[in-house]
Amino acid sequence: MDSNIVLNGINALQWAREISKLPEGHFTIAFFPYSRNRRQASARIVVKEHCKYRTQLPKERFEVDGENYFLFTDGDGRPRMCYRILIRYMAFPNDGFKLHKISWL
């Protein structure tokens, strides 16, 4: 893939789910963290490597529809989540983990 390729957000999330099914499959994600307490997104982007898609944990309760979140584990195996719309870049193993911009429109 060319590093200038813009990926559709829905397709990128589907790729992440499918890649996570592989034993050694993982992806990189870059997003703006959102504080639910302050109700505001950070101005600094966070990059998490060696991530895998995950399903909702029994203890997780969402104030808004769970479809608004993307759930994953980070490289250390810790459960993480982010608002889908705040995901800006993703990278996959098929192109050497080059970050590609994510488009939500």
d(CA 47, CA 90): 9
The pTM of the full predicted model, rounded to 2 decimals, is 0.85
Count CB-CB contacts under 10 A for residue 85. 15
Q: What's the confidence (pLDDT) of residue 90?
A: 96
- In the structure, what pLDDT confidence band is assigned to residue 1 with cuts at 50, 70 and 90? very low
pLDDT tier at 2 (50, 70, 90 boundaries)? Answer: very low
* Most distant CA pair in the chain, distance: 40
Instruction: Please count the residues of the chain.
Output: 105
DSSP state of 57: P
pLDDT (0 to 100) of residue 55: 84
